[in-house]
Structure 1
Amino acid sequence: MAPIALIGLRSLSIVIPAIPSTLYSILAGALFGLGTGILYIAIADFLACMLNFYLAKRFGRRLVQRMVGQRFMYKVDTLSSKYLENNIFLTSGFLMTGLFDFVAYAVGLTQMKWQNFTLALILGITVSTPPVVALGAGILEQGRWLLGLALLGMFALAMLTGWLNRRRES
């Protein structure tokens, strides 16, 4: 029962971005240990972000605005129009931040295909979930450093992708 409750609460906190979600990752590590905690959080994140993406694709901007609120809609607009549509690695990098719930909605408003979003999401979850769950499991005292390094690596890959795309177009 506890795993289902954790997955449900974490998913709800992603679909409704006003609810903080990081606590659930730490809690998963504390309750279930590193490996099982990562699995539960990865399942919740995958399902909820795919739902956010689907809702944005299917119902558009009006529903997204209702879900994230008028106040946060500028974040969604900025992310979707300027950065995410053509760069899987940058999308992955943004999915590793505390704004990943907004990012999933934002990408849903772009022309990005679900296959590309799924790849970016899996990459983002794979890199960002273990350090936070490890904090809860008590394994990684400096988990923020590992997360920071992972984010820097993803942004470096995103920049490389952009540079290669520009070079190819020239």
Structure 2
Amino acid sequence: MRVFSSPADRRRALLALLGVLVGFVGLYVAVRQYLPFLMDARALRAWVAEFGPLAPLAFVIVQAVQVVVAPIPGQAIALMGGYLFGPVAGTVYSLLGVLIGSAIAFQLAKRFGRPFVERVFHEEIVAGFDGFVERIGVPGLFLFVVVPGLPDDMICFLSGLTTWRLRTFLPVMALGRLPSYALTVYAGDELANGRAGLALGLLALVAVLSVAGYYNQDRIRAFVESIAG
């Protein structure tokens, strides 16, 4: 099966991927040149540790807010989590924040209903996903959120419009989001340890998967529905 449905999609995907990679490299060079103290991961982690539990608490809050408000990509925050807290704690804090944000989005939609969700997202977009979560069920939702680049934050709101319970929804989100977040956190830890080549390789992998997912949303939705159905 082709990854992209047309040459135009393939060109757009390559340009987007190139932009992401250039952005990461540019950020790395800029930080190294103008904010060199951030390159001393050991000193930075020691400084963060001085704040005690406030540092991970603040990180978890930021990660939760990005799910509901989405001004910052969650992967960028996860990368910072790996750099500041290491692979294990960074993954735990990232996933905890994402799950808290997902639960808030789910409960807001459950409490205020479709009109609220249509104010957060355009009503035509919401209409395009009518019944999607109900049709695909638990296995389908896992397949949908495990692919980076798909609108998984929006799915949190849409899931709140279904008859699902929070105790069913959250484990699916945790398992589905874990792989890409763990990879990104690990990349952040590799940056902290001075292994920029491996870190950029991991970020490139996540970027490739994200771009492919973004430009194949409709095909992935159709595939998930066919499997779940």
**Normalising by structure 1, what TM-score?**
0.74
Whether 1:27 and 2:80 are equivalent positions in the alignment is yes
Cα 1:120/1:15, change in 2 over 3 Å: same
Measured in 2, the distance between the counterparts of 1:105 and 1:5 equals 23
Distance in 1 between residues matched to 2:71 and 2:117, nearest whole Å: 13
Pair 1:119-2:168 in alignment: no
Query: Does 2:102 align with 1:49?
Result: yes
Once residues 90 and 112 of structure 1 are traced to their aligned partners in structure 2, the CA distance between those partners, rounded to angstroms, is 14
Shift of 1:90: 2.4
Q: For residue 125 of structure 2, what is the aligned residue in structure 1?
A: 75
* C-alpha distance in structure 1 between counterparts of 2:165 and 2:80, whole Å: 33
- In the TM superposition, residue 141 of structure 1 has moved relative to its aligned partner by 4.1
Q: Is the 8 A contact 1:52 1:104 kept in 2?
A: yes
For residues 24-44 of structure 1, the C-alpha deviation after alignment (integer angstroms, 9 at most, x for no partner) is 111001111111100000110
Alignment CA distance shift 1:56-1:31 (3 Å): same
Aligned pairs, number: 154
**Per the alignment, in what secondary structure is the counterpart of residue 109 of structure 1?**
coil
- Asked if 1 retains the 8 angstrom alpha-carbon contact of 2:84 and 2:90, the reply is yes
Residue ranges of structure 2 left out of the alignment (5+ in a row): 1-53, 191-197, 214-219
Q: Mean Cα displacement is larger for which, 139-148 or 90-99?
A: 139-148
Q: 2:137 aligns with which of 84, 87, 107?
A: 87
**Cα distance in 1 between the residues matched to 2:176 and 2:125:** 19
SS at match of 1:142: helix
Opposite residue 109 of structure 2, the aligned amino acid is A
Residues 60 and 96 in structure 2, CA contact (< 8 A), matched pair in contact too: yes
Please point out which of 142, 161, 168 is paired with 2:201: 142
| In 1: Cα distance, 2:126 partner to 2:86 partner | 34
Q: Closer, same or farther in 2 for the Cα pair 1:2/1:74, shift >3 Å?
A: farther
TM-superposition CA deviations, 1:62-99 (whole Å, max 9, x none): 22233x243xx4334323x2532242222123333342
Q: Which has the larger radius of gyration?
A: 2
| Distance change >3 Å, CA 3–CA 20, structure 1 → 2 | same
Matched residue of 1:87: which SS? helix
1:121 is displaced (CA, Å) by 1.1
How far apart in 1 are the matches of 2:61 and 2:142? Answer: 23
Cα offset, 1:135, TM superposition: 1.8
Percentage identity across paired residues of the two chains: 24
Flag the 1:6–1:63 CA change in 2: closer, same or farther, 3 A: same
CA shift, 1:53, in A, is 0.7
Provide Cα deviations, 1:14-62, integer angstroms capped at 9, x if missing partner. 1113443321111001111111100000110111101111111111122
TM-score normalised to structure 2 length: 0.57
